[in-house]
Amino acid sequence: MKISTKSRYGSRAVLEIALSRNGEKLTRKQISQNQDIPSSYLENILISLKANGIIRTIRGPKGGYQLAMEPENITIFKLVEVLEGSADQIPCLEDKSKCTKTSICVTRDVWNNLQKIQEEFLKGITIKDLVDQTQKLYSPTFSI
């Protein structure tokens, strides 16, 4: 599973939207500035996220982006899958016809198991988890 800049920026953009107070809509410019993501690159990411039902747009002078799903239902795996396409790292894992040795290749199991571990790990992390971590990180702690 390739984790490109697109997925990293996409997860940060979704997190930024999730952190907005009381469902406040965020503009692309706000997301871009707050997360240090080039605006033109962000635009393509937001289009993909919207097309896949993760975010929605509200038009007009007070418009912007909001989550279309609850943060606990958006996994990092889902974001990577939406932004990268297939989660398969090795072509023969998705399509055995891509390699003539799939029936006798012992390393294929290694790559298949690695992929499963990565998928399960990323499916176990939600945007809600990241919101909670962010809030802990930036919450003032008082000690006397």
Classified as helix, coil or strand, 134 is: helix
Provide the domain limits for residue 19: 5-138
The model's pTM: 0.85
Rounded-to-integer distance, Cα 79 and Cα 81, Å: 5
Q: Is 62 exposed, middle or buried (0-12, 13-18, 19+ CB in 10 A)?
A: exposed
What's the pLDDT score for residue 88?
A: 63
Total domains in the fold of the chain:
1
Classified as helix, coil or strand, 46 is: helix
Mean pLDDT per 10-residue segment, the chain (144 residues): 87 96 88 96 97 94 93 96 79 76 83 90 97 87 64
**What CATH code is carried by the domain that includes residue 123?**
1.10.10.10
What's the pLDDT score for residue 107?
A: 84
Give buried/exposed letters for 110-132 (b at 16+ CB in 10 A, else e).
Answer: eeeeebeebbeebeebbbeebee
What's the pLDDT score for residue 99?
A: 81
